[in-house]
Amino acid sequence: MPFFTEAPETVATAGSSLDQALVLALLALPLAGFGLTALVGRRMGDKAWAIAVPAIVLVWLAALYLIFQTLVAGAYGEAGLHFRLYEWIPAGDFTVEVDFGVDALTAVMLIVVTTVGMLVHVYSIGYMAHDPGRWRFFAYLNFFMFSMLLLVLADNFLLLFVAWELVGLSSYLLIGFWYRRRSAALAAKKAFIVNRAGDFGFGLGIMAIWTTVGTLDYSDVFQLLPAQVESGAIEGWQMTGICLLLFAGAIGKSAQFPLHVWLPDAMEGPTPVSALIHAATMVNAGVYLVARANPLFAQSPEALLVVALVGTFTCVMAAAIAFTQKDIKRVLAYSTLSQLGYMFMALGVGAFVPAIFHLVTHGFFKGLLFLGSGSVIHAVHEEQDMDRMGGLWRRIGITHVTMLIGSLAIAGIPPLAGFFSKDEILGESFKLGFGWVWAIGIIVAVMTALYMFRLMGKTFYGPSNVDPHTEPRIHESPISMTGPLMLLAVPSVLIGFALGWPPESGLIHQWLAPVFHPLEEALHHGAADYQLLGIDGFLLGASVAVSAVGMVVAWRLFGFLSTMAPRPALVASLTARLNGPYRISRDKWYFDDLNHLLFVRVGGAVARALWWFDVHVIDGAVNGVASLTQGTGHGLRQIQTGRVQNYALGIAGGLLVIAVGYLFIVAR
């Protein structure tokens, strides 16, 4: 049967076959790394990384070339590089091909994915050096890279969906990496299932797209669907429905309310995983999806409003929870939720470029923060409770410095990366008429600075609360771990300026403008000039000011280096005074309890009730028919009394009945 031999339909492509081969290499290398490591990794002992890490380094190099070609050299034009591998599902009218595309958005994503990915791989060499299951770890990590790259390279919705689920799988495998720990196994399962809840909507959205326009190719869909809306072939609510269904997928993957519950639990995974998957790359997939589907969202202001609302709410809620968590990684996890909320906020108001910009900067500084937290945890011998840290800044200097850079970046202190992207989001929200979004964003900015420096204070400053047994053995991590920290610190400092200056017309704007062109057109964004001395300057000042305020408050409460001692009493009294909000925050707004009640208790009861129904009613009916049959048999056998008289009487009775019957026939 002709399968691979079939000549692919000609797709408009630019770029040489070398470029295509490189795109394929981006996928093939990690996949091969996964396969090889899975098969022979166990026998490689200490060198379990020897296949996986080089593979990703090569991927990074190839990606750099492609990024350069796309963004800088413009070798593929505005449309980007598109090509077809083979026809995947040929089912009548419904055909799905394995098509890949590299355009500006993909390239920007590649920057984050491959760079952070590569660094996390290197970091893991040291971090996982003593874990007997490290070969599995590297295999999974490579598999994740494959899935994530597939996600950004896919050129149609179904292939995207495939990658979408595969990153979910990688996440499942990596969260549950320490499967002996029940909590890890539970967290892995939870992550996958909650993601599936989002995919439920995503899948339906894809089906809706196909039944509406009969294709799933990005370019076709992005042309046909808006055209149909404009021509009135489909109504506005349908468009909104499609967008919201797609957005359901984004909610799941990017852990937005109400599907955010999996991400904090996902911290059960090894820290490099948290850095790579649950901070820098996978959780951004939702943002990527909405950005990718911008021509669709452009047709539905209602859908965008929902995006904005969800983003805003998550943003506030997560920041509020981050205040009170004791586990260092959980603070970062809620911070991630909050920052993702920022991005959705931006998407919702139509500020797509700032959203992606923030995605990039956040990818680097949050990756840095997570890896830093990993280094801290490593240093204090797998302790994650911040109440049992403190004063570490002298002992693990490199970690401290890099994490401080990350914290400043996320807090939005100029000129670090976070400042530029966050400021653009806030500024655009305000200028696009979403004052309330801006206001909330400002509040969250305060909160961000506050919880980040609470974290810094409790971890690095003040007196040491480290377990006395561990205390003498605190040590800085090996170079394979600190190296990536330092390397990540560089973009955390610089990338905001590099991409975002001058404001609203930096490199990132130049790159992404073509991608978001339809959106901007549909939303009629005015191209007002940037006024540093006008409104923009004011907004900028406001956001910097509030961040600084947050930072100062945190310093005051939790200390800074040795000069400012922490004030535990003040913290305690504040906690006592605000006991209600404190408890709500500490208990994560009771979402986990609600879910437990709904899905474990009520769901379990329903399932058991249905099982009972199955056994006793449905099967009971089946067995009942059998018993009835047997019972009737038992009853009927009683007529066989063994006595000839009774038999004769029966015969005579039968005769009588028959005779009467014939009488009726005669009478008729």
Q: Footprint of another protein on residues 80-119 (CB under 8 A)?
A: 86-94
For the record, the structure tokens of 26 come out as 């981006």
Nearer to another protein among residue 130 and residue 637 (C-beta): 637
User: If you write DSSP's letter for every residue of 391-451 in order, what string do you get?
Assistant: -GGGTSHHHHHHHHHHHHHHHT-TTSHHHHHHHHHHHHHHHTT-HHHHHHHHHHHHHHHHH
Q: Exposed/middle/buried for 38, CB within 10 Å: 0-12, 13-18, 19+?
A: middle
| Cβ proximity of 329 and 271 under 8 Å | yes
Nearer to another protein among residue 36 and residue 513 (C-beta): 36
User: If you write DSSP's letter for every residue of 197-251 in order, what string do you get?
Assistant: HHHHHHHHHHHHHHHHHS--BHHHHHHHHHHHHHHTSS-HHHHHHHHHHHHHHHH
Residue 161 binds another protein, judged by CB under 8 A: yes
End-to-end, the C-alpha distance of the chain in Å comes to: 74
Residue 74 binds another protein, judged by CB under 8 A: no
Q: Which residue from 19, 155, 165, 504 is in contact with another protein, where contact means CB under 8 A?
A: 165
Other C-beta atoms closer than 10 Å to the C-beta of 594 total 12
Nearer to another protein among residue 579 and residue 640 (C-beta): 640
Residue 640 binds another protein, judged by CB under 8 A: yes
Residue 512 binds another protein, judged by CB under 8 A: no
**Which residues from 168-227 bind another protein, rule CB under 8 A?**
169, 172, 176, 179-180, 182, 184-186, 188-189, 192-193, 196-197, 199-200, 203-204, 207-208, 210-211
For the bound state, the minimum distance from the C-beta of residue 220 to another protein, rounded and expressed in Å, comes to 17
| Cβ proximity of 139 and 43 under 8 Å | no
What is the pattern of x (binds another protein, CB under 8 A) and - over residues 370-389? --------------------
Residue 57 binds another protein, judged by CB under 8 A: no
Task: Give the C-alpha separation, 434 to 423, whole Å.
Answer: 14
CA dihedral 461, 414, 437, 593 (to 10 degrees): -20
Nearer to another protein among residue 88 and residue 323 (C-beta): 88
Nearer to another protein among residue 165 and residue 217 (C-beta): 165
For the bound state, the minimum distance from the C-beta of residue 86 to another protein, rounded and expressed in Å, comes to 8
Give the number of residues in contact with another protein, rule: CB under 8 A.
Answer: 84
**Which residues from 417-436 bind another protein, rule CB under 8 A?**
none
Residue 655 binds another protein, judged by CB under 8 A: yes
Q: Which residue from 463, 541, 581, 653 is in contact with another protein, where contact means CB under 8 A?
A: 653
| Cβ proximity of 252 and 286 under 8 Å | yes
Helix, strand, or coil (residue 427):
helix
Q: Which residue has the tokens 């004791």?
A: 326
**Which residues from 551-610 bind another protein, rule CB under 8 A?**
603-604, 606-608, 610
For the bound state, the minimum distance from the C-beta of residue 91 to another protein, rounded and expressed in Å, comes to 5
Helix, strand, or coil (residue 470):
coil
Task: Give the C-alpha separation, 147 to 520, whole Å.
Answer: 30
Question: Which is nearest to 345 in space by CA: 313, 321, 323, 317?
Answer: 313
For the record, the structure tokens of 59 come out as 């991927």
Question: Which is nearest to 335 in space by CA: 286, 283, 375?
Answer: 283
C-alpha to C-alpha distances, 519 to 290, 301, 425, 525, 594, nearest whole angstrom: 11, 11, 16, 9, 38
For the bound state, the minimum distance from the C-beta of residue 489 to another protein, rounded and expressed in Å, comes to 36
Segment interacting with another protein (CB under 8 A) among 17-25, 162-170, 220-228, 507-515: 162-170
Q: In the chain, count of helices (H) and strands (E)?
A: 28, 2
Nearer to another protein among residue 158 and residue 487 (C-beta): 158
Residue 326 binds another protein, judged by CB under 8 A: no
Q: Which residue from 63, 102, 111, 158 is in contact with another protein, where contact means CB under 8 A?
A: 158
Backbone φ/ψ region at 124: left (φ over 0), alpha (ψ -120 to 50), beta: alpha
Nearer to another protein among residue 191 and residue 485 (C-beta): 191
**Which residues from 474-503 bind another protein, rule CB under 8 A?**
none
Nearer to another protein among residue 19 and residue 199 (C-beta): 199
Residue 618 binds another protein, judged by CB under 8 A: yes
For the bound state, the minimum distance from the C-beta of residue 38 to another protein, rounded and expressed in Å, comes to 8
Task: Give the C-alpha separation, 422 to 342, whole Å.
Answer: 8
For the bound state, the minimum distance from the C-beta of residue 250 to another protein, rounded and expressed in Å, comes to 17
For the record, the structure tokens of 283 come out as 């959780």
Backbone φ/ψ region at 424: left (φ over 0), alpha (ψ -120 to 50), beta: alpha
Amino acid at 388: R
Nearer to another protein among residue 572 and residue 621 (C-beta): 621
Rg (CA), the chain: 31
For the bound state, the minimum distance from the C-beta of residue 165 to another protein, rounded and expressed in Å, comes to 5
For the bound state, the minimum distance from the C-beta of residue 329 to another protein, rounded and expressed in Å, comes to 21
For the record, the structure tokens of 238 come out as 């349908």
Residue 521 binds another protein, judged by CB under 8 A: no
- β-pair partners for 83: 100
| Cβ proximity of 309 and 269 under 8 Å | no
Residue 39 binds another protein, judged by CB under 8 A: no
Nearer to another protein among residue 108 and residue 184 (C-beta): 184
For the bound state, the minimum distance from the C-beta of residue 134 to another protein, rounded and expressed in Å, comes to 14
Residue 45 binds another protein, judged by CB under 8 A: no
Q: Which residue from 510, 531, 573, 629 is in contact with another protein, where contact means CB under 8 A?
A: 629
